Chain A
Amino acid sequence: MMLWRKKRIAQAADERFSSVQALARQLGVQRRMNARILYPRRITGPLPSVSFSGQPIQIADISVGGCCLIDPFEILGKDVGNELTLTLHFGDTQVRVLSRLVGRVEHRRHIQFLNLPQPRLESLRLVIAEAVGGAAMKQNWPSEKNGPQISVREMWSSLIGDSLALTDEVHKTAQLTLNGRTYDLHKNAWPTRAGGERVTRAKFMAMLLFLANIPHPSAGVQILLAELEALALEESR
């Protein structure tokens, strides 16, 4: 009888939850549309790197409308409103984009793209849409003394349904759920789908960007991200 009850409850639980957020996403209304995403520390993946007059400049974050550059040597100048031509490097190809300096705070320069080509803009939008879900992630409450105990080391989740569980297992370091698909992250090994199939490099990069955008990451998440970045670098070599 216990088994019957378990199944009935699980079935009912499955059927009766719904989400306003999910419906809003279907309608095309979501926070991520014009959101900015942070760059991983060591690897940019499908995101562009930026140079001005041949000199590379560090990027803090990027959106489809512009980016934030770190410019301690004032290569880009001081005057807000100036128009500049930046070079965006997408892998082997590069695009020259007319841009405007729209703000500056200390070393940060806020740039607006004026003529980013439509195909590039669309590919950037796709990358951002996958990665920005990380910004909605929050660490779940720790186990209370008299309450239920978490079976993993850390649990992170968002109202959209993405989640991250850091485990204490020997080989499997974490389980990541992105857009309804679950992936296993391993120690010094390429991530796999729940069934054991290796993920593509593009998906791996999306995971990296997603993890890099988790706000206020714990030490565990930072270590996980560093390990994955190291793995990606090693693989690219």
Chain B
Amino acid sequence: MTPNLESFRPKLRTGRVIPQGSRIIFETENPYNQIVLPMALADLVLLCSGQFSVREIVDKVYKKQGAVPFRSMLTAIHLLHQGGFFENGDQLALSPHLQSWMEPRRSRWHLSWRFGQRIAAAHRSPLAFYFLTLGLLLTSIFGLQFFPGNIFADAQSWSSERSWTELMLALLAASSVLQTWRYLLCGIQLLLLTSKAYNMSLRLSPWGVHLHVGDEANDLFENRLYTSMFHISQILASWSLILIASPFVSSDILQPLILTGSLISFWELNPFRSSEGRKLVRALLIPTDRDVISWHFDAGNLLHSINPEGGRKDQDFARLCAIWGVVWLSGSFFLLYQIAKQFGAGVLGQLTHDSDHTLGAWLAVGAWLATLYYSVQAMVEILFLSVVQPYWDALIGRIKRLAFRPRKEWSQAEVLKNIEGLPLFSHFHEQFLEKIVTHSQVVEYNDGQTILRQGDAARELYVLLEGDVEVIRRTSSLTEDWVSIISALSVFGEGALVDDTPRAAQILARRRVTVLCVPVHAIRQVALESQSVRQLEVFRNAIMVNQFFASSPVFRSLSVSSIEFLCSRGTLEYFDEQQTVFKQGERGDSLYLILRGSVDVEVHGMNIKRLRQGSFFGEIALIANIPRTASIIAAEPSVFFKISSDAFWEVLVEHMDLGVFIETVSETRLKEDLALAPLKRASGDS
């Protein structure tokens, strides 16, 4: 049986670990087979002897260092696996989440020689960036005057007098020059705007041989105006060179530049991966780091734990990309058809009839066929992945929803079978459970129907048997706050158990839902009769904790045993409004889950953000073994579930993907803190 990541026992090939400053090099017996890793991962590499599982390695590193760099560890395991450094690599199986996280980018059809890992300027010059980019945009727009009215007729007249060798070499040379110009400007713009440019390389790609600058520094953009200017200027950059070159070069040279410039701009407008157009739309629609997490995880619903709107934005973006993709692909197929019509016969003729079979001619034909193959393959792939698959998934989802028919009648046995699986009902003896169900009623609600109204008298508790419900709270200013989504099987409306205060939130059905409506008096009566449930408050607490774990997209993926373990180790803590949970700089020994209420996050005394019900905090101090990085203050009367550091780590060791997610959230939150509190930080350091 194939082990999962946690139980995989990595065994590295025979080799040695060479320390090199803050890095290590692992080298097998073949010295060309090397991998460079951070020094912090030396223990991981040294423990990959086949004797320990990944779970045991994480445990050992945690016990020694007090923290585990999950993402780095998993990245290292992935790279070692991909590089064939594991003797038993074929035994490793990754969960889909980890797989999607570790392979966010697909390999491309190019070869590169990297000559610069990072260039850093002394300081940023946004003003210089602004004027340079503005100039670039203006010259590009003026350059567009060279765009021909009938590009195919022009191209044919230009190509008809030349052999295929000349034609292809001219086009490749022109695209190489234009791409080099574009990336040169890109590097300068990045240096001016972010003071950093990463991974400069010389690249052999279907565009020819050209300079390439990595897009890693794009993540450092902070301003939407600059972001828009940068990407638009990159789409049009070729035309600025055409304008500048036009007075100095003949039309024989200008023509291939115009042809390839048109192709480059058209390619950069594609809505798929790695195009400037897509980066622009993504930057405008998904501006915050935390949304990028869902991008990496490729699963919007995970994000609900920290940002409920994240998933919706992703959906909007996917929908826009799909429509855009159809338009762009239609254009590109038309373009391909025209190219084939104009030049295809020439290629076939070259292969079959022409007698001029020189090496250059064959190379030109090969380059043409390779480009055609790459373009068609890429288009088919992106068409399938970005357009067909989402709509196919949507269609399947729709069919499933249509096929979903709530059962008209739930038998008592069915209800019992469903609710006895809930940990909170495990306190009840079967006969008491039957009594509760006898007094209860199964009710169905349609999409959007209100189940509970805020302010209504609380007389029932609800068990969600099928479907999802949305929790919304109206504030005093009559605005609506989205609180969370609760999924089956779960319980809501439990506040009615202990007091007679009105409902604190509104519950709406999402699609069709089935709930078991349990009168509170029935539970009270059973609780009084039951030997095991004496205190209703304890019962309510159990419901709150269970509800959190059942509804949280992050924690729901944990195994039942892990949830039970966390529940058994955690404690409930109650805080009043404006009460401090912990202060920045204090030692952190626990993670907090927000069961009810909300908290304000303060860094260096500056209010950074508000976390609401269903979210969690305090994870950074645990995952990195550092003091609290922010102060947390209850924004309203709140209830938290406090999990100790040791219990938390015992679960993380078993669930590496949860560790990766929490570490990613930690990094994102720290980046937000750094972005929002720089002035305070500077004064705090002094």
Among residues 15 to 29 in chain A, which have CB atoms less than 8 Å away from a CB atom of chain B?
A: 15-21, 23-24, 26-29
With beta carbons under 8 angstroms apart, the residue of A18, A29, A147, A157 that contacts B50 is: A147
List, in ascending order, chain B residues with CB within 8 A of A105's CB. none
List, in ascending order, chain B residues with CB within 8 A of A17's CB. 37-38, 69, 71-72, 75-76
**Apart from the given pairs A4-B111, A17-B75, 14 other A-B contacts in the complex at a CB distance below 8 Å:** A2-B32, A6-B33, A6-B35, A9-B83, A15-B199, A24-B620, A26-B674, A30-B627, A146-B49, A149-B15, A151-B16, A151-B18, A163-B21, A175-B19
List, in ascending order, chain A residues with CB within 8 A of B33's CB. 2, 6
Tell me the dominant secondary structure on chain A's binding face: mixed
B90 at the interface (CB under 8 A from A): no
State whether B46 touches A140 (Cβ < 8 A). yes
How close is B237's CB to chain A, nearest CB, in angstroms? Answer: 25
A31 at the interface (CB under 8 A from B): yes
A120 at the interface (CB under 8 A from B): no
How close is B328's CB to chain A, nearest CB, in angstroms? Answer: 29
Tell me the dominant secondary structure on chain B's binding face: mixed
Q: A13-B37, A159-B69 are in contact. Are A146 and B667 (CB under 8 A)?
A: no
**In the complex, A182→B24 CA distance in Å?**
13
List, in ascending order, chain B residues with CB within 8 A of A14's CB. 36, 117
Q: Digit string of B43-80 for contact with A (CB within 8 Å is 1, else 0)?
A: 10111111100000000100011010101100110010
How close is B667's CB to chain A, nearest CB, in angstroms? Answer: 6
State whether B21 touches A157 (Cβ < 8 A). no
Q: Which 9 A-B pairs have the closest CB atoms?
A: A147-B49, A144-B49, A182-B21, A23-B670, A20-B624, A165-B19, A2-B32, A141-B46, A10-B36
State whether A29 touches B629 (Cβ < 8 A). yes
A107 at the interface (CB under 8 A from B): no
State whether B17 touches A148 (Cβ < 8 A). yes
How close is A232's CB to chain B, nearest CB, in angstroms? Answer: 23
What are 21 A-B contacts with C-beta separation under 8 Å? A2-B33, A3-B32, A6-B33, A15-B198, A17-B37, A20-B626, A23-B667, A27-B629, A29-B585, A138-B65, A140-B43, A141-B46, A147-B50, A147-B51, A148-B45, A148-B46, A151-B19, A161-B38, A175-B19, A175-B21, A182-B22
**In the complex, A146→B46 CA distance in Å?**
10
List, in ascending order, chain A residues with CB within 8 A of B37's CB. 13, 17
State whether A29 touches B627 (Cβ < 8 A). yes
**B587 nearest CB neighbor, chain A only:** A31
**In the complex, A3→B35 CA distance in Å?**
11
**In the complex, A13→B83 CA distance in Å?**
11
Give the number of residues in B that approach A within 8 Å (Cβ atoms).
71
Among residues 128 to 166 in chain A, which have CB atoms less than 8 Å away from a CB atom of chain B?
A: 138, 140-152, 155, 157-159, 161-163, 165
List, in ascending order, chain B residues with CB within 8 A of A13's CB. 35-38, 75-76, 79
A194 at the interface (CB under 8 A from B): yes
List, in ascending order, chain A residues with CB within 8 A of B26's CB. 148
State whether A144 touches B626 (Cβ < 8 A). no
State whether A147 touches B46 (Cβ < 8 A). yes
State whether B585 touches A9 (Cβ < 8 A). no
State whether A6 touches B15 (Cβ < 8 A). no
State whether B15 touches A148 (Cβ < 8 A). yes
How close is B234's CB to chain A, nearest CB, in angstroms? Answer: 21
List, in ascending order, chain A residues with CB within 8 A of B39's CB. 157, 161, 163, 177
**In the complex, A162→B23 CA distance in Å?**
10
B341 at the interface (CB under 8 A from A): no
A12 at the interface (CB under 8 A from B): yes
**In the complex, A11→B684 CA distance in Å?**
36
**In the complex, A69→B313 CA distance in Å?**
60
Q: A159-B40, A175-B21 are in contact. Are A28 and B64 (CB under 8 A)?
A: no
B681 at the interface (CB under 8 A from A): yes
State whether A144 touches B17 (Cβ < 8 A). no
List, in ascending order, chain B residues with CB within 8 A of A29's CB. 584-585, 626-629
A41 at the interface (CB under 8 A from B): no
List, in ascending order, chain B residues with CB within 8 A of A2's CB. 30, 32-33
**In the complex, A163→B18 CA distance in Å?**
12
**A12 nearest CB neighbor, chain B only:** B79
List, in ascending order, chain A residues with CB within 8 A of B674's CB. 23, 26-27
Interface residues of A (CB under 8 A from B): 2-7, 9-21, 23-24, 26-31, 33, 138, 140-152, 155, 157-159, 161-163, 165, 175, 177, 180, 182, 194
With beta carbons under 8 angstroms apart, the residue of B38, B64, B626 that contacts A30 is: B626
How close is A157's CB to chain B, nearest CB, in angstroms? Answer: 5
B625 at the interface (CB under 8 A from A): yes
B671 at the interface (CB under 8 A from A): yes
State whether A140 touches B670 (Cβ < 8 A). no
**In the complex, A26→B79 CA distance in Å?**
28
With beta carbons under 8 angstroms apart, the residue of A20, A147, A162 that contacts B620 is: A20
Q: How many A-B residue pairs have CB under 8 A?
A: 183
List, in ascending order, chain B residues with CB within 8 A of A144's CB. 46-47, 49, 51
**B76 nearest CB neighbor, chain A only:** A13
Q: Digit string of B624-636 for contact with A (CB within 8 Å is 1, else 0)?
A: 1111110000000
**In the complex, A31→B16 CA distance in Å?**
33
List, in ascending order, chain B residues with CB within 8 A of A26's CB. 670, 674, 681
Q: A145-B49, A155-B19, A180-B22 are in contact. Are A28 and B71 (CB under 8 A)?
A: no
**In the complex, A31→B585 CA distance in Å?**
8
State whether A151 touches B67 (Cβ < 8 A). no
How close is A166's CB to chain B, nearest CB, in angstroms? Answer: 10
**In the complex, A109→B124 CA distance in Å?**
50
B623 at the interface (CB under 8 A from A): yes
State whether B670 touches A6 (Cβ < 8 A). no
With beta carbons under 8 angstroms apart, the residue of A24, A30, A149 that contacts B16 is: A149
State whether B46 touches A5 (Cβ < 8 A). no
How close is B628's CB to chain A, nearest CB, in angstroms? Answer: 7
State whether B22 touches A177 (Cβ < 8 A). yes
**A165 nearest CB neighbor, chain B only:** B19
List, in ascending order, chain B residues with CB within 8 A of A5's CB. 83
**In the complex, A13→B16 CA distance in Å?**
18
List, in ascending order, chain A residues with CB within 8 A of B620's CB. 20, 24
With beta carbons under 8 angstroms apart, the residue of B18, B47, B114 that contacts A147 is: B47
B358 at the interface (CB under 8 A from A): no
Q: Most B CB atoms within 10 A — which of A5, A9, A29?
A: A29
Q: A141-B43, A148-B15, A148-B48 are in contact. Are A18 and B117 (CB under 8 A)?
A: no
List, in ascending order, chain A residues with CB within 8 A of B670's CB. 20, 23-24, 26-27
Q: Most B CB atoms within 10 A — which of A4, A12, A23, A145?
A: A23
**In the complex, A32→B111 CA distance in Å?**
45
B12 at the interface (CB under 8 A from A): yes
B82 at the interface (CB under 8 A from A): yes
How close is A150's CB to chain B, nearest CB, in angstroms? Answer: 5
B591 at the interface (CB under 8 A from A): no
**A30 nearest CB neighbor, chain B only:** B626
State whether A15 touches B216 (Cβ < 8 A). yes
Among residues 606 to 633 in chain B, which have CB atoms less than 8 Å away from a CB atom of chain A?
A: 620, 623-629
How close is B470's CB to chain A, nearest CB, in angstroms? Answer: 33
Q: A11-B199, A15-B199 are in contact. Are A24 and B30 (CB under 8 A)?
A: no
**B624 nearest CB neighbor, chain A only:** A20
**B670 nearest CB neighbor, chain A only:** A23
**A144 nearest CB neighbor, chain B only:** B49
How close is A34's CB to chain B, nearest CB, in angstroms? Answer: 8
With beta carbons under 8 angstroms apart, the residue of A15, A23, A31, A180 that contacts B671 is: A23
**B68 nearest CB neighbor, chain A only:** A159
How close is A5's CB to chain B, nearest CB, in angstroms? Answer: 7
**A136 nearest CB neighbor, chain B only:** B65
**B111 nearest CB neighbor, chain A only:** A4
How close is B105's CB to chain A, nearest CB, in angstroms? Answer: 10
**A162 nearest CB neighbor, chain B only:** B22
Q: A15-B216, A17-B71 are in contact. Are A157 and B629 (CB under 8 A)?
A: no
State whether B685 touches A28 (Cβ < 8 A). yes
State whether A28 touches B681 (Cβ < 8 A). yes
State whether B40 touches A10 (Cβ < 8 A). no
How close is B49's CB to chain A, nearest CB, in angstroms? Answer: 3
**In the complex, A157→B11 CA distance in Å?**
22
List, in ascending order, chain A residues with CB within 8 A of B72's CB. 17-19
State whether B35 touches A9 (Cβ < 8 A). yes
